Every structure is written in structure tokens, then in C-alpha cells.
Chains A and B, each alone.
Chain A
């Protein structure tokens, strides 16, 4: 359950001033109550790595971490996150293994969905890195977001590669191919 929030102050009629932490920095914004978190991040705070692909919660390009959990920033009002801790793609560690893995595994083509997948995966791997151990669990997680270019194979491989780097000890005994699906060289379909 989310912790109770303090009430923001009213600056002038129709607008509210609220405090939130974004990528570790305390920020104060004055916004209309109707303004959606994604727009406040993009327009008020200049964090345009959070992209809007559908604005109704389906595509996931706008995924951010709110108090550590991946959420749709297109379906959250900024006033709902008063005092909240928001992490966007810009707040990922530059050494995050996901970033390199997305490059080496060709996990993007047009790049529009990429930040949403990165944030989704960072939140999920932080909570439970074993999510990549089970192909069905990983697919159910990745099914949170849409990609129209890649067919998801590179994203799936990047998730596995990054999880291994997050916790190298846990994976040292595992042969690499057990984590791979749907590649042109390896397939685990149920042949008769």
C-alpha cells in the first residue's frame, strides 16, 4: 500500500505546488491538477526520455519507477505522486548493465519503446532478478509493454544478460542457452 501523502499547497487558483523527488533530486512543480505525471516530467522537468505512445496505459513507453515500482506515468496525475520518489530512464545508473545489453543484443530498432522497457526491467530486476529464469514469467513481464519493431527477441535476451550481470554468482553454473528462446540458432518448441 502506498504511504499517505501530504497535501500540496495551493499557489493560485487552479494550480497546485507539489514536491517530489525525481532521480534523487528534490523538485517542486506548480501544476494544474489535471496534468499527468508524464507531461510534468517531459514539459516541466525536461525529462523527455519518458515517451508517450498511447496515453491510455497500454504501450508502456512512459513507464517510470514510482517508489521503486514500475508504473504508467500516463495514468498517474502529478498530484497523486506528491512526496513520491520518481525514477525515469534518465535516472538509471550509466553503468546499468541493461544499457549495454540493449545495445549488444539489438533490443531496439526505432528506439521509441526503449526507455519504457529499460525502466520496466530495472524495476523488475531490482525486485526479483529470478524473473528471467522462467521464460513464461519473463514473457508475462515483458508483455507489460509494446514494441512494434523488434519482435521482442533482443529485449528478452538483454533482460537475461543484464540479470546475469546484476547477480553473476547466481548464474555462473547455468549454461547460457537455457535462458534463450526464439533465436535463430536455438529453439525450445515442443517438437513431437
Chain B
């Protein structure tokens, strides 16, 4: 990393490169009556100022997962702005300082309209956000509806309103792109990106170019966490500027832009209802989700992941989910680590704890009674869980948690008025890795070179997941050669003909398997030719391609947390955090361990610290940047106890499932369950994420409500 070889987009030295900066909307929702760029155009160093009027020949911004009725999305706003930070004009200058000077000189004529920051406000609005298009941009049901008789005959029914707050993915490198126009309309695009072939298609489509005319290269990337797979409007504007100038143009997003305007994750209003019989058998789960997807339906279909996952880790006969994606006047909500699965696990695992309280049973016992035990398992919402031993992760987690010792301590503290309350929480999860139909395929190719080395090409794109190391090992192992002789090539559309990039925890499972199979093909060729594999290319390169496809896989695991609460301040301290994950066969323990740790840290961020609060119109209240949007530091990491089990994926030649999203799925429900457990006198309906001291204090002050079915939030009643 310290070597001269590491270079992000911002680090590239390109002769004649201009720097871009955007004029962005200060308003959440307004008519854009005019953009006065006259002064800006004359300022020192300024090469170009673009507004919507200059981009009429550029196509719309493509939405990756856009829902049923995507309205047009222009690279620069034309007649209306719909979120703070929406790009309105682009300035290109000889350096970023002077570009920002000109940005400050552009005047916008805005006529404010009322904002609609929440799903409730949007659904109550008189007019649609886009004329002729629905505000509910996706509405979908998963699984048959739960029969009324099921609720009626249940021994216990519990329901709750839950909120998944908006999160800022906050890769330390924000978005960055550098576009170099070449001969005959060709473009070389260097971008910090998870899906280079997708970006190539997006740019080619918007500019009417053949895909081969666009080369996308991803240099070293400073993290992504799901946020860097779309073709963002800014990218199209920068391409347009580079084409117009015939010169390289770079845009490096700064932190203010990123927190105000870049895509966010989560953002769901959930209502969950769960029923059990007297023996503690879960009979039904019903989950409704209203997702605030922001002003453009970039990720409108992602909340469907939540609906699909509404069974959790449990064998439940009736599961139903209804998901609506609702346009709001804030920046688009898109994928962020977990992308729909953390939201589902949170709803289900909170509901199971509430159900246990209603039944008067131990939450661990209730989970154990209902875990899926035979595979493959088809869920009512349409998932096929491939394999696993869910009990084993629960068992191992309990060994590491030592619940009896903590329960004794909890009792001791409850008897001591001066002791801080202590709580224990557990959460089981099942996630999905590999992707969905359309990307359940990956390209791999392995080439035997004349010098006895090998080149492995794959359609994934590392943003910090050590692909070169892991994939090099996969290929070397299959070939039976030293890993030093394998060079991994990815993230360059000129080198790799096709690919679906790196998201949805798909790289090792899909790309690794493709390379494994391609390398196997090379071994077969060598055997057929009667030569050693490293001599196969001696008289000229020999390459074997493989397109691997498989159904998605379902990693799973159990998380547990012990917390104590300072009841005066409401501050939560995690005393122990246990994570037991099963990612199938583990290819590289150190890399997978690192993924688990990083994901756990982001889960801690969601449950305790991170949040994008919005004002009444949808403007984010993050004026002090990362002093307001708080990601965990080293001093926020609690003592961890981690373990893995490894039941191989039966649909994968390497046995692998995806790793990397588990921690931010398992941690939030485990910690919230622990805090609720610690505070029997608090109102659990108010214990919503992030569990800031103020939130916890307010829940304590409100007190636990009586068990009345008509109360807002958590209700319960034995039938």
C-alpha cells in the first residue's frame, strides 16, 4: 500500500488534465428557473461550464435497480431539483481551487416547493414528485398472505414498528472519475468503481457509443461498500465535458459532496408482525416495508431483498412481505453493505425477541425451536436455502458468549441499585450471496503464457477485498503451480471482455469459481496434450474461458452481544460481541477474517452511531461533516469473539459462499436486543437505531408501557 504502485484516481498524473467541480442544489425541492453562469465562465482558469441545456444530446442516467416506473433522470437537473446536492452545473478548470471559485460564482434561481423527506410525507403529498409518474415506484409482495385464521388461532401475536435509518456508506475515497477522450470518439474512463462493465454500458448507452469505444479501468479504489456500482449522473456530465474539451477531465468527489449528495443505504419504515403457538412454534411472519428511496429510483428494487429474506433463519409455514419503494426529496438510497438483508434480519430478529418476551420464554430457546434444519429449504417468499447447520453456529456462539455467567451477573446487578444494567442479545441471520438472476454468472479465463506463467482474467472488481491474492491462490492451487506465477487481471474492460463486478458478496463465489473452472480446463488441455501445465503455453499462449453460473448461496450465522448501559446518560457500552459465521468453505482465512471485522465495525456504526438526519424538507443535517456523521474509531471497537463453521456450498466447485456482509447484518439486532434486555423499564418501541444516548435516555424516561394492544409501537397480547 505504501509502495509506489498504489494509485487512486486522484493520484494519477495525466498531462493536461482538468479538474471538475459541481454546482449543486442547496434546496431539497424547488423549481429551477435559471442558472446564471456568466461570471463563472469568465473566471481565471475556467475551461468550461455545462448546464442541462448543454447536455440535451446525452441520454438519461440509467437506474441499476430502478423499479417499475422510473421517471427520466438527467445528468444535470433541468427544470426542477429534487434533493440537496443534486448536480445542476459542472465547472471545469485548470485546478480544483479555481473550479470551486467558479462554482461559488454560479447563481441559481430557485422557487422552493415543499419537501417530502419521509415515506409518510411522500405518500400524503398532493402531487407526484414527477409529473406523470407514480411516487410509489415499486410495490411488490412476497409469499402468500398470512391467513386470518392463523393470527386468530395463534397463542401469541406481537408486532412492532421499526426504523432502518439512512446511512452514508463513507468509503474513505469518495467517488472519483477521470475521462480521457481518444481518437475517433473513443474514451478511456478511470473510475473508482465496483462494476466496470456496467459503467461501460451506462456511458456507451447515454452517449450512443459502441461499448468497445469505451474502456473502463478501475485503479486502486479506496473502498466502496456497495455504493460504487451505478453510472452516476456526475459521471455522464464529466464524460460530456471531456468530449467537448477534447481533453482529460477528472472529478474527485469531496467529503461534503459525498455526505450531501452521494447515495445512501438502508432507509426503511418497517412493520413486522409475528405469531407463535403455545409450544413456541413460529406460525407466521408478516413484514411491510415502506422504503425511502430518495429523489431518483436508483435502488428502488433493492428493498425487495428485504421482502425475499423475511423468513430469517426459521422454518415458518406462512411468511408474507409487502414492499413499497417511495420517492422522497433527498439523495438516492442505494446499495450499502448488506443491501436489504440487514433490514430483514433486523425486523425478524427484533420480532423474535419481542415474541419470546410475550411467550415468557428464553429468546435463544425460541430461536432454536424454529431454526431451519433440512436442506435445501424453500421459504414461502421464494428463497431456496442451499445448505447449512444453523444450530451449529448457535451452539458455538453460546459457547463464546457464556450466557449463564452473564445472566448471573445481570441478576446481581438488578439487585444492586448502583450497578449499571446489563443485557444479553442474540440474533441469527441468513443472507444471500452471489446476486440475483441477471448477474448469477461470471466470466473467468486462465491463460498459459510461453514463459510458464499464467494470466487469470475475471470480471470482478476489487475495492479492497484482496482479489489478486485470493484469486491467484485459487488458480495456482487448481493448476498445481506456485501462486507467484499467476497474475490476476481484472477491472479493465480492455483486458476482460465481460463481467458483473463486485457486489452482492459475489466475487469469490462467482468469479473465484469461474477461475477455478477455467484453470481446470487448462489442466485438462495439458493432460490431453501430454505436457505439464506450465509447459502448455510454450509454443504460444493457450487460454481457457469459463462462464460460471449458479443459484445464489445463503451464508448464515449467529451473533450475540453483551451490553451495559449508563442509565443516567443513556450511553451503551458493548462488553462482548460474539460472531459465528458460516460462509461455506473459506479460501483465505485472513482475508475472510478481515471482511468479518470490517463488517462488524460497520454494524456497530449503524446500531450505535451512524445516521443521516434530515430537516423538514429532506436536507441532511451534517454541517460538520464527519464530526456529525460518526463512524467508529479504534476506540469504539468492543472485545470480540469470532468463530466460523464451514458447511460447503453444494452449488459451487470451491464450496464457497459470499463473505463480507455478515457483520453489518448480525450486529444491529444482537445489540438492540441486548439493550432492550438490559432495560426492562424502558419503552422498547423507542429503542430505535442508532441507539444514541439521547434515544436510550428517552426510552428509559418514557418507561415500559402497559401491555395494551392499542398502543403505538410494540404491542402484544395472548390470543
Contacts and interface: CB of A to CB of B under 8 A. Distances in A.
Direct contact between A and B judged by beta carbons closer than 8 A: yes
Interface of A: 32, 34-35, 39, 42-43, 46, 48-49, 51-56, 58-59, 61, 89, 92, 99, 102, 106, 108-115, 118, 138-140, 142-143, 145-156, 181-184, 187-192
Given A111-B1, A148-B170, A155 B634 contact: yes
A137 B635 CA distance: 9
Contacts of B598: 109, 148-151
B21 to A, nearest CB: 13
Contacts, number: 171
Interface stretch (B134-142, B149-157, B306-314, B461-469): B461-469
Contacts of B593: 106, 184
Contact of B2 (A46, A99, A182, A183): A99
Interface in B224-275: 225, 254-255
Contacts of B171: 110, 112, 148
A173 B11 CA distance: 44
Which of A99, A147, A151 has its CB near the most chain B CB atoms (within 10 A)? A151
Q: Is the interface of A mostly helix, strand, loop or mixed?
A: loop
B1 A108 contact: yes
Interface of B: 1-2, 6-8, 10-11, 13, 95, 97, 170-173, 220-223, 225, 254-255, 402, 405-406, 408-409, 412, 463-466, 575-576, 590-591, 593-595, 597-598, 600-602, 624-627, 631, 633-643
Nearest to B409: A192
A18 B231 CA distance: 43
Contact of A188 (B95, B221, B402, B639): B639
B607 to A, nearest CB: 14
A191 B404 CA distance: 11
Contact of A150 (B7, B221, B597, B627): B597
Nearest to B601: A151
Contacts of A187: 576, 639-641
B173 A184 contact: no
Contacts of B635: 139-140, 142-143
26 contacts: A34-B97, A48-B13, A53-B255, A89-B2, A92-B2, A106-B593, A110-B173, A112-B171, A112-B222, A113-B222, A115-B2, A139-B635, A146-B633, A148-B631, A149-B598, A150-B601, A151-B598, A151-B601, A155-B634, A182-B639, A184-B640, A184-B641, A188-B639, A191-B576, A192-B406, A192-B412
Given A35-B97, A146-B633, 9 more contacts: A51-B222, A53-B255, A111-B220, A146-B172, A147-B634, A152-B634, A182-B637, A188-B639, A192-B406
A75 to B, nearest CB: 12
A191 B222 CA distance: 37
B466 A55 contact: no
Contacts of B594: 106, 109, 149-151, 154
The 3 closest A-B pairs by CB, nearest first: A110-B464, A112-B222, A189-B639
A7 to B, nearest CB: 23
Contacts of B624: 56
Contacts of A42: 10-11
Contacts of B590: 106
